[in-house]
Amino acid sequence: MSNARVDRDTVRAQEITAEQQYLSMLYAKLDALRQETTQRLKETLRASGGTPQARTERDISTRMYTDKLTQLSAVEHGMCFGRLDLDSGETFHVGRLGLFDEDHEYEPLLVDWRAPAARPFYLATAAARDGVGRRRHLRTSWRKVLDYEDEVLDLDAAEQGSDLGLAGEATLLARLDARRTGQMQDIVATIQGEQDRIIRAGMNGVLVVQGGPGTGKTAVALHRAAYLLYTFREQLSKRGVLVVGPNPTFLRYIGQVLPSLGETGVLLSTAGGLYPGITATGEESARTAEIKGRASMVDVLAAAVRDRQQVPADYTELTFDHEALRIDRRTATQARTRARRSRRPHNLARRIFRNEMFSALTLQVADRLGRDLLDRRDLDDINRELRADAVVSKALDELWPEITPQELLDDLLCSPERLATATRKHLDDDERDELLRLPGTTWTPADVPLLDELAELLGADDAQERAEREHQQREELAYAQGVLHIMEQDEELADEERLRVSDVLDAELLAERFRSTSDLTAAERAAEDRTWTFGHVIVDEAQELSPMAWRVLMRRCPSRSMTLVGDVAQTGALAGANSWHDVLHPYVQDRWKLVELTINYRTPAEIMAIAADVLSEMDTDLVVPRSVRTSGHRPWTRRLPSDGLATELPAMIIDELHEVGDGRLAVLMPPELLAGIGPRLAESLPDAAIGTRPDDLESPCVLLTVDQAKGLEFDSVLVVDPATIVAESERGLNDLYVALTRATQRLGVVHPDELPAVLRGM
């Protein structure tokens, strides 16, 4: 071994020792912060909170210390992952959170990756060094430094990364080659320049991130959520951030990313999970979902609501006070017209209709008694008696009922007559038949946007509840003003016990914080409130949403502060997007920004060469993203007869599981095939699970449809019966493109019939 090699090894060992000492110091600081925060939380919980001021301070402090402990626990793994050496001689480490030395004027010990000072760690290049002389990537396992990679950003150096401009190439590739675990991991240590520019983009407006398979769209979206919460904490802490994913399995897959970045106040949901109290687990055909997702359903639902605002064909006779009373068509029509002209939702306009009808019926009774003999008080008494009469009230309810979205939609979809009336101008007979279903059918994800639209059309007569809520808020505001006054006058409070007025700002903010600390987080409150509006909305696999689903999301974000990530080449839903312009123009016209991710970090070049043939057959001008690596595994095909799939696939799956070791294998197949042979496969393979539950991703092998696999990645993928995948949908090529690009290492295709033409090159 040469002396030069020995010297390099010695220097490397010394550097690792020095980094280990620094890392150990950081973890000691983390442990001390945890201990201090835990102690303060215990003291806060033990406080009696005797006075209103003390209770407020206790509640706020409890939430603050609890959130702090959650953050300190979430950053345990990979807390520090890099170092920047600046031309000025300064050196600082970059990690998941900021740590400071209180004994030395709060000198930074660890810079939060989201802070402006950390940005050169992701963006500095040899051509634009931004004052950085060297960038170091640390490889750690929990609290131990394993190795490091240095990048000397020197224009005279012969080699400076790859032709793709990757930062920390060795660290990145080691991360990409690692086995999958069934849960998505954050990329905070390996964010690349094109990703960082998107993550740190401003919060205002709609940002569309278009990216092909493996470009890190989902990771970018989640890290953007963490960045926005860090940078715009005051604006977003009240309203929260909503992250929308395509299905519950996907949400389970990404569930640990934001906590690992120190953020827990984000609501993760599917579009079908945004209606409180509704669990949309029902299944229906793609065709049915497409019809429900059409924009014309807005007019259909409006017609269905109008259909519940009836008038008698001639007149309705009923008995009041032992005398006959008539509700005639002309009077009811006039009352209905006045109610409709109010432009109020159905259930709120109902009050106008009833008031008009009770006034007309009052005069009818008065005429029978002799109106000239009655004064105003007599008329008011008659009106009250009519309102209290059950028979009269029931008759008016039949004309203009108070109805919930669930009741109306169930009635509509279960009644051929009502459905024909509402859809007369919009659907043909076959489409109406597609929508019809039996009473009590489980709600489906495509029903949720319809329910949300109906909630807007129907409204809720919550006048009494609203008055009580406003009264409570006035009392809370008055109480908060009193607390502020006491705090400003009380000079005996210790500094650490004082709730600083400068932090509270004003009484309205204090009242809001009191509500949030004494009850639920913003995300928890948002999950229970259909009318909640978010500070920012992030949508993953955004190309899959129907026009009706977009209406729901736009209502949740009237500020239009949104990040939409997706790939229109991967659109599988029949009601999904063909272009971002078609999606956004009805809401923001051309006021949106498109950015593209062009580098494929997940899918090796061998597989992307196959997928590129599929993309070229689609009607799209999208370009295949460039893969940063090869796997050394050539994609393969094998033909099995249809009647041999259930018997011969298990052996192939076992062989593939052996190849991936402790990684993850996905077997993707058409829905009918999965329903037919999936249970037998799962029964014969103890390591396999059918992907009907989010936890199934923890299994070494999971059996999925292509739709269920959207947004996920696996070490190896077996695509079964690609011809049926292509044939069963108008977007079959899109689905095949998705299926082929889920693998990070290995790809196999099993076909009972001839391969689709686009795969014959295999």
**Residues in the annotated binding site for ATP:** 211-218
Task: Report how far apart the first and last C-alpha atoms of the chain are (Å, whole number).
Answer: 46
Rounded Cα distance between 393 and 404, Å, is: 18
Which amino acid is located at 712 in the chain? L
Strands (DSSP E) contained in 130-240 are: 132-141, 144-152, 206-211
User: 493 Cβ partners below 8 Å, 6+ apart?
Assistant: 487
CB 145, CB 138: distance < 8 Å? yes
Cα(84)–Cα(121) distance, rounded to whole angstroms? 7
Cβ burial 504-516 (10 Å sphere, 16+ → b, else e): beebeebbbbbeb
SS percent in the chain: helix, strand, coil, step 5? 50, 15, 35
From residue 671, alpha-carbon distances to 271, 541, 653, 725 in Å are 21, 20, 19, 9
User: Do β-strands 266-270 and 241-245 pair in parallel, antiparallel, or remain unpaired?
Assistant: parallel
Q: Cα angle vertex 481, ends 479, 482, to 5°?
A: 65
Which helix H or strand E contains 611, and what residues bound it? helix 605-617
* Contact between 666 and 714 (Cβ < 8 Å): yes
Apex 283 CA angle, 282 and 285, nearest 5: 150
In angstroms, the CA 492 to CA 377 distance is 62
Q: In three state form, how does the secondary structure of 403-467 look?
A: CCHHHHHHHHHHCHHHHHHHHCCCCCHHHHHHHCCCCCCCCCCCHHHHHHHHHHHHCCCCHHHHH
CB 691 within 8 A of CB 697: yes
Neighbour tally for 132: CB within 10 Å: 20
Both tokens assigned to 71: 């953050």
Compute, in degrees rounded to 10, the torsion defined by CA atoms 198, 199, 201, 206: 80
Question: Vertex 98, ends 97 and 104: CA angle to 5°?
Answer: 155
**Annotated binding site: which residue ranges?**
211-218
**Crossing angle of the two packed helices 52-74 and 3-46, in degrees rounded to 10:** 160
Reference 181, options 739, 695, 711; nearest CA is 695
Please report the sign of the dihedral spanned by the C-alpha atoms of residue 756, residue 757, residue 758, residue 762. Answer: positive
What is the rounded CA–CA span in Å between residue 321 and residue 152?
96
The region, left, alpha or beta by phi > 0 then psi within -120 to 50, assigned to residue 214 is left
